[in-house]
């Protein structure tokens, strides 16, 4: 099916009720996927006690899961673009169920890693499809629809910690894990009955294969975007790993420091929707770039914040920036590079993001150790964020392939 054969059906599908149903299912799935993987700190001790893991081993489980979600899931998403979405989502549900089964029989560090690697791969594949499909179903409300979809990324870390604690008070780690991941598999399986590309989407005119990947990676504008996109998020990875140390080193109380990421995430839930509303009116790219600039400024001033009031102001600024950054990039990418093979394009960007997400926190830690403080790492972080803004603008302003 192509857009030339069914232009009327394609136009009728945009901004339709089915599109909003896809958005609603996307929110539910992202809440559960993000709430399972990125609340790892809540159940890390229980995981360690259950399987007699060391602190280094537990940390490795999280790193491997995150890498699988972003990199392996992203790569799988690239080639999943060659197929219709129903069987792919059905396989994701099977993968999630498989991770449950693997954890029930796990009796070593290696078997635990395997279970969580399968979880990350399945979750990352679903994530890649969700964020690439939702904007394809909208025209006038593209920014708002994507913003609502991405609230799941903020809601997961907000609501799932309490769910984990409630489960662990009543049952074992394996049973609690099975309940949460099993519910995720149910939502993914149900979504496989609904999720499909809009009628008239040109899916097969340029099939995803090694040649397509080579052409995409040889496009300078796409490479500019692939560098700029993860750079504007580098501050989030660094703060996720070091925010408590940064704030306490600036004489900020432990209570504020410990709540820092939750404050950023909580504010971003609101600004994800607000950012989509603003983006639909003033432009998605200008809203995204302004948010990246705000994040860069906040990173530049953070090392000089020595009072609780200004700490809250910086955290608020990061939260305001994170919402539009997390929600608007996908429709911007699809507008710049086309909706054809959208899942594959997003998958490549997720692979790029995985590299920066793994390197940035370690690089900031090395700079901190070498310079003896957080001023140089955070100033560098602000500069890197603003550089990312420039790369992203260059790539998405001119690209159309």
Asked whether the predicted pLDDT for residue 114 surpasses 80, the reply is yes
Q: Higher confidence at residue 58 or residue 73?
A: 58
Mean pLDDT (the chain, rounded): 85
Going by pLDDT thresholds of 50, 70 and 90, the confidence category of residue 3 is very low
Q: Tell me, what's the pLDDT at 2?
A: 46
pLDDT tens sequence across 203-232: 545 667 778 888 888 999 999 999 999 999
If asked whether residues 246 and 168 sit together in one domain, one would say no
Asked whether the predicted pLDDT for residue 349 surpasses 70, the reply is yes
Asked whether the predicted pLDDT for residue 157 surpasses 90, the reply is no
Helix (H), strand (E), coil (C) string for 273-338: HHHHHHHHHHCHHHHHHHHHHHHHHHHHHHHHCCCHHHHHHHHHHHHHHHHHHHHHHHHHHHHHHC
Q: Tell me, what's the pLDDT at 155?
A: 83
If asked whether residues 153 and 217 sit together in one domain, one would say no
Tokens for 104, please give them.
Answer: 């029930």
Helices and strands (H and E) in the chain: how many? 18, 0
Ranked by mean pLDDT, the top range of 212-221, 271-280, 376-385 is 376-385
If asked whether residues 187 and 215 sit together in one domain, one would say no
Domain boundary among 136, 164, 191: 191
CATH number of the domain bearing residue 290: 1.20.1250.20
Helices (H), 106-141: 109-133
Counting the structural domains of the chain, the total is 2
Q: Tell me, what's the pLDDT at 399?
A: 45
Determine which of 161-175, 209-223, 352-366 has the lowest per-residue pLDDT on average. 352-366
Q: Higher confidence at residue 193 or residue 362?
A: 193
If asked whether residues 184 and 297 sit together in one domain, one would say no
Q: Tell me, what's the pLDDT at 385?
A: 96
Ranked by mean pLDDT, the top range of 14-18, 76-80, 365-369 is 365-369
Asked whether the predicted pLDDT for residue 138 surpasses 70, the reply is yes
Asked whether the predicted pLDDT for residue 108 surpasses 70, the reply is yes
Q: Could you tell me if residue 202 is inside a domain? A: no
Q: Could you tell me if residue 197 is inside a domain? A: no
Tokens for 337, please give them.
Answer: 């590079």
- Host H or E run for residue 25: helix 17-37
Q: Could you tell me if residue 203 is inside a domain? A: no
If asked whether residues 329 and 278 sit together in one domain, one would say yes
Question: pTM above 0.95?
Answer: no
Domain of residue 378: give its range.
210-398
**Average pLDDT for residues 48-71, to the nearest whole number?**
84
Three-state DSSP at 203 gives coil
Q: Could you tell me if residue 198 is inside a domain? A: no
- Host H or E run for residue 401: none
């Amino acid at each position: 099916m192509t857009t030339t054969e069914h232009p009327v059906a394609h136009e009728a599908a945009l901004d339709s009720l089915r599109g909003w149903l896809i958005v609603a299912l996307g929110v539910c799935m992202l809440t559960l996927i993000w709430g399972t993987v990125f609340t790892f700190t809540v159940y890390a001790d229980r995981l360690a006690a259950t399987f007699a893991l060391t602190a280094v081993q537990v940390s490795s489980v999280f790193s491997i899961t995150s890498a699988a979600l972003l990199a392996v899931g992203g790569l799988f998403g690239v080639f999943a673009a060659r197929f219709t979405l129903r069987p792919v989502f059905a396989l994701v549900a099977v993968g999630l169920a498989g991770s449950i089964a693997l954890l029930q029989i796990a009796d070593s560090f290696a078997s635990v890693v395997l279970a969580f690697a399968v979880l990350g791969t399945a979750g990352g594949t679903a994530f890649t499809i969700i964020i690439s499909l939702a904007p394809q179903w909208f025209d006038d409300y593209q920014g708002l629809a994507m913003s609502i979809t991405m609230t799941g990324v903020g809601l997961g870390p907000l609501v799932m910690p309490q769910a984990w604690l409630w489960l662990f008070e009543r049952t074992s780690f394996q049973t609690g894990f099975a309940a949460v991941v099993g519910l995720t598999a149910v939502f993914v399986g149900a979504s496989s009955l609904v999720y499909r590309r809009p009628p008239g989407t040109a899916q097969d005119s340029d099939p995803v294969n090694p040649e397509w990947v080579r052409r995409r990676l040889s496009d300078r504008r796409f490479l500019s975007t692939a560098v700029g996109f993860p750079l504007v998020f580098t501050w989030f990875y660094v703060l996720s790993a070091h925010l408590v140390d940064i704030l306490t080193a600036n004489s900020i109380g432990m209570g504020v420091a410990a709540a820092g990421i939750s404050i950023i995430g909580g504010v971003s839930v609101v600004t994800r929707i607000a950012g989509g509303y603003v983006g639909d009116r003033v432009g998605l790219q200008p809203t995204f770039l302004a948010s990246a600039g705000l994040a860069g400024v906040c990173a530049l001033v953070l090392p000089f914040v020595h009072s609780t009031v200004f700490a809250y102001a910086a955290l608020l600024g990061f939260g305001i920036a994170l919402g539009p950054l997390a929600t608007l990039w996908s429709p911007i990418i699809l507008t710049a590079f086309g909706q054809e093979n959208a899942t594959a394009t997003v998958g490549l960007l997720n692979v790029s993001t995985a590299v920066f997400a793994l390197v940035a926190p370690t690089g900031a830690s090395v700079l901190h150790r070498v310079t003896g403080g957080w001023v140089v790492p955070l100033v560098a972080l602000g500069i890197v964020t603003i550089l990312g803004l420039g790369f992203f603008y260059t790539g998405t302003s001119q690209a159309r392939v």
